[in-house]
Amino acid sequence: MRKVFFVWVSLLVIAVIASVVATTYYLRPSTKERLIVSTTTSLYDTGLLDAIETEFEAKYPIDLNFISVGTGIAIQHAQRGDADLIMVHSPTDELGFLTSGTGVNRKIIAYNFFAIVGPKTDPAEIRDTAPLQALSKIVESGRSGTAQWVSRGDNSGTHVKEQSLWTAAGFSWKNLTKETSWYISAGSGMGATLNMANEKSAYTLADMGTYLAYSKQGRIPLLEVLVGQGKDLLNVYSAIAVNQTLHTNVNFDGAMTFMKFLISDEGQQIIEQFGKADYGQSLFYPAVRLLKENTDPAMSEMIREYAFFNGTECPQEYRKGYPEIYG
């Protein structure tokens, strides 16, 4: 009996010691500063940010923390001072973020293309048509009961892009959302939306990076790219720091350190190489050298026309220090 008692006492002592050690470990002062980045789901779901985080944290004593949400919610986090930097892909919303005084030092970092993906059977017969024509055909097929559309429906950059495409095609997207027999609002991130489209054999608008990642992983076997590339489907990603004069709690210098890494040769190389080994092509394309040196004039002009404000990626009045990032 005494032996059992001593065993239990020994176990209790070990448990207490382990608890104290664990508590001491988690409460010890951290040697790293924390940086919170609110980011669009496409950059996160593809795994690109994991690759960037590994290389960045190996060089700097900064602990990166990502919040993966749609562009609209990412901006809301920053407006409340709950993020130090955002990485998003909706120029219209980004301009509003700058003009509100919350965002500063916008820098375009990468681009790729959206794609209209759908079932391999392609009931609306949109394969290789122009994007706006494809949307018209999907509406016609949806109303006749032969096709469905899944929308992000989450105020993300992809959702904003979808809305602009519906408008350009001559439709009111608000009215389309009422046609619930074929127009489905997922209210979800890109990955979940692709999964839903696959389950329903429906069409959707996707960024090419997330589509390629999910397709490679075998998650969406019924879907394929039916309409891709082209000016109408351009997708541009930007990083924007949160103004420390508006939110004094933000890690502005840390945000700028991370931004400078993103636009450095090393950061741009990570973006360019990401996905090549697994997918046979880059999921995202670096934009900094392209815009600085005009290495591809046609693509440079497309980006400038789509994502520049008054001829620049960040008007002078929204720049706050760090002039070297625009050199």
CATH of the domain at 154: 3.40.190.10
**Domain boundary, last residue among 201, 233, 265:** 233
**Facing residues of 37 across strands?**
66, 85
Residue-wise pLDDT tens digits, 62-114? 999 999 999 999 999 999 999 999 999 999 999 999 999 999 999 999 999 99
**Domain boundary, last residue among 233, 259, 285:** 233
- Structure confidence at residue 32 (pLDDT): 82
**What is the C-alpha separation between 93 and 99, in angstroms, rounded?**
10
Helix axes 71-79, 157-168, angle to 10 degrees: 130
Q: Does residue 51 sit in the same domain as residue 185?
A: no
Q: Which residues contact 105 (CB under 8 A, 6 or more apart)?
A: 240, 241, 256, 259, 314, 318, 319, 320, 321, 322, 325
Q: Does residue 169 sit in the same domain as residue 271?
A: no
Q: Does residue 102 sit in the same domain as residue 251?
A: yes
Rg (CA), the chain: 23
Structural domain range at position 253: 33-112+235-326
**What is the C-alpha separation between 108 and 237, in angstroms, rounded?**
6
**What is the C-alpha separation between 158 and 161, in angstroms, rounded?**
5
Q: Does residue 106 sit in the same domain as residue 185?
A: no
**Facing residues of 103 across strands?**
242
Q: Which amino acid is at 7?
A: V
Residue-wise pLDDT tens digits, 225-263? 999 978 999 999 999 999 999 999 999 999 999 999 999
**What is the C-alpha separation between 206 and 220, in angstroms, rounded?**
12
| Residues 40, 89 contacting (CB under 8 angstroms) | yes
| Residue in the block written with tokens 């026309």 | 305
* Strand (E) or helix (H) holding 23: helix 2-27
**What is the C-alpha separation between 66 and 198, in angstroms, rounded?**
27
Pick from 273, 303, 280: which is nearest to 290 by CA? 303
Q: How many domains does the chain divide into?
A: 2
pLDDT at 6 over 70: no
Q: Does residue 122 sit in the same domain as residue 91?
A: no
Q: Does residue 228 sit in the same domain as residue 123?
A: yes
Determine if residue 122 is left, alpha or beta; phi over 0 gives left, psi from -120 to 50 gives alpha, anything else beta. Answer: left
Q: List the single range of 12-26, 38-52, 145-159, 186-200 with lowest mean pLDDT.
A: 12-26
**What is the C-alpha separation between 6 and 196, in angstroms, rounded?**
58
- In the 8-state DSSP scheme, what is residue 30? P
Encoding tokens for residue 43? 């950059």
Q: Which amino acid is at 234?
A: L
CA atoms within 13 A on the CB side of 178: 4
Task: Say if 169 falls within a structural domain.
Answer: yes
Residue-wise pLDDT tens digits, 11-50? 333 333 333 333 333 333 456 899 999 999 989 989 999 9
**What is the C-alpha separation between 206 and 116, in angstroms, rounded?**
6
**Domain boundary, last residue among 206, 233, 260:** 233
Q: Does residue 218 sit in the same domain as residue 303?
A: no
